[in-house]
């Protein structure tokens, strides 16, 4: 199957070197080619070039981009989009003055979602998550990581992970799966946190590994959740089964999460609202991708992560949506890019690199996803006609993603 796209005002996010990540000053480049065509063959990008040199190209299907831009699909490396119901009551509680931590201490928050998930069948969960998947595909996401973590018992964690597997098998979006049994201490274990950590290490991790349900392991290493020592124990237990860490760190406090993540070879450390100079120094020279979730800082009214300091220190950074019912009920990556520009002073080019190639890197998929490069999977979207690439984050609520192509085929779901 050969798909030819013509009449593209500009292809953006081109990477002829096919790098696996971009760092520091290199993040400022998001290369473009004006007045272009692109050819995909058998689901991969075969070639692209200027319209003036299109010559005689044979294709099974030709699509006229109508003068829109063509960009690589977003790679959203941190979501919790399998969940039951919603939590707008807590949204009201927050408006009335309660903090995220206070709501959690009262037994709301993650435990609220765990109760709802327990009551939902696998089919119901799949139906609800499928709606969210269709929504994010239509908004331009082509590659997504999804976490468990609303199960908090072996049976319910497996239920969530099976739903993630079903999503992976049912949609053309690329999915990576993360086991997050240590998202919170389950209700039955409150006051017995060490026993809950034992359960994660001795029962949950072996059961998840036995069914091959997870690519990665995550721990919420933060004030009021899991300590650095507990995190280290669980990451070591996961490592025995080949589960590489991607962890929640430094959202509520300077928690030591960055250091424990880097020490255990984490693929990414995520959130990073509370960072010091030491944390940035720890990340320099490591292969761990610092990942920021500005939707959560926006929704919870937290400080935004120090993106400028990190990039200016030479780090590569990724952006993800954190799509979840408590701290970021949105998977809109275009809005995440806008927030990064508006609130974290990232340039549009830096933010788009962070939401595509570096996002893919943060879930181990950047060899095949995250940029317009010959040989990579043909995942891209075409925008409505716009004046420039910078217009995308500038017009921060306008839905500009017009047509979506995954694995070389148009998504019409």
Binding of ligand NIG by 290 (CB under 6 A)? no
Q: Answer whether 77's CB lies under 8 Å from 291's CB.
A: yes
Binding of ligand NIG by 82 (CB under 6 A)? no
Binding site for Fe ion (CB under 5 A): 322
Interacting residues of 81 by C-beta distance below 8 A, sequence separation 6+: 129, 132, 133, 136, 144, 146, 323, 324, 331
Which of 74, 298 has the CB closer to ligand NIG?
298
Tokens of 285: 């020279």
Q: Answer whether 307's CB lies under 8 Å from 345's CB.
A: yes
What is the 3 state secondary structure string of 168-205? HHHCCCEEEEEEEEECCCCHHHCCCHHHHHHHHHHHHH
Binding of ligand NIG by 296 (CB under 6 A)? yes
Q: At closest approach, how far in Å is the CB of 79 from ligand NIG?
A: 9
Q: Answer whether 405's CB lies under 8 Å from 145's CB.
A: no
Main-chain phi, psi angles of 287, to 5 degrees = -95, 5
Site string for ligand NIG, 212-231 (x = CB under 6 A): --------x-----------
Q: At closest approach, how far in Å is the CB of 382 from ligand NIG?
A: 31
Q: Which does 151 bind (CB under 5 to 8 A by kind): Fe ion, ligand NIG, none?
A: none
Q: Which does 238 bind (CB under 5 to 8 A by kind): Fe ion, ligand NIG, none?
A: none
Eight-class DSSP state of 387? S
Binding of ligand NIG by 393 (CB under 6 A)? no
Q: At closest approach, how far in Å is the CB of 220 from Fe ion?
A: 8
Binding of ligand NIG by 251 (CB under 6 A)? yes
HSE-CB for 60 with a 13 A CA cutoff: 9
Site stretch for ligand NIG (CB under 6 A), options 32-40, 170-178, 207-215, 319-327: 319-327
Separation between Cα atoms, residue 316 and residue 54, nearest integer Å: 35
Q: At closest approach, how far in Å is the CB of 150 from ligand NIG?
A: 7
Q: At closest approach, how far in Å is the CB of 152 from Fe ion?
A: 15
Return residues touching ligand NIG (CB under 6 A): 80, 109-110, 113, 220, 248, 251, 296, 322, 324-327
């Amino acid at each position: 199957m050969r798909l030819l796209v013509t009449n593209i005002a500009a292809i953006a996010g081109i990477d002829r070197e096919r790098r696996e990540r971009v760092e520091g000053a290199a993040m400022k480049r998001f290369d473009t080619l004006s007045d272009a065509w692109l050819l995909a063959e058998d689901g991969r990008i075969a070639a692209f070039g200027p319209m003036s040199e299109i010559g005689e190209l044979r294709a099974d299907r030709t699509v006229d981009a109508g003068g829109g831009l063509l960009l690589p699909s977003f790679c959203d490396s941190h979501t919790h989009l399998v969940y039951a119901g919603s939590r707008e009551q807590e949204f009201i509680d927050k408006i009335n003055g309660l903090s995220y931590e206070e709501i959690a201490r009262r037994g709301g928050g993650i435990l609220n979602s765990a109760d709802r998930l327990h009551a939902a069948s696998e089919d119901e969960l799949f139906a609800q998550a499928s709606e969210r998947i269709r929504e994010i595909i239509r908004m331009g996401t082509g590659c997504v990581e999804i976490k468990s973590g609303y199960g908090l018992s072996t049976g319910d964690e497996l239920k969530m992970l099976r739903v993630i597997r079903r999503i992976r098998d049912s949609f053309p979006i690329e999915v990576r799966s993360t086991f997050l049994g240590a998202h919170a201490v389950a209700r039955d274990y409150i006051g017995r946190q060490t026993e809950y950590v034992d359960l994660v290490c001795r029962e949950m991790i072996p059961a998840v590994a036995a069914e091959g349900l997870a690519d990665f392991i995550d721990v919420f290493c933060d004030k009021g959740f899991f300590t650095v020592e507990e995190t280290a124990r669980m990451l070591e237990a996961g490592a025995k089964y080949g589960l590489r860490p991607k962890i929640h760190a430094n959202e509520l406090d300077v928690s030591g999460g960055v250091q424990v993540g880097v020490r255990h070879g984490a693929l990414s450390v995520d959130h990073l609202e509370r960072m010091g100079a030491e944390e940035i120094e720890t990340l320099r020279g490591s292969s761990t991708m610092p990942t920021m979730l500005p939707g959560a800082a926006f929704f919870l009214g937290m400080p935004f992560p120090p993106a400028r300091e990190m990039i200016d220190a030479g780090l590569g950074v990724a952006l993800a949506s954190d799509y979840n019912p408590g701290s970021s009920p949105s998977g809109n990556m275009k809005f995440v890019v806008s927030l990064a520009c508006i609130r974290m002073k990232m340039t549009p080019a830096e933010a788009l690199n962070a939401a595509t190639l570096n996002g893919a890197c943060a879930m181990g998929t950047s060899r095949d996803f995250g940029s317009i490069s010959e040989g990579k999977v043909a995942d891209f979207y075409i925008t409505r006609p716009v004046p420039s690439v910078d217009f995308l984050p500038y017009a921060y609520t306008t839905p500009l993603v017009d047509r979506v192509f995954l694995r070389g085929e148009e998504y019409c779901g």
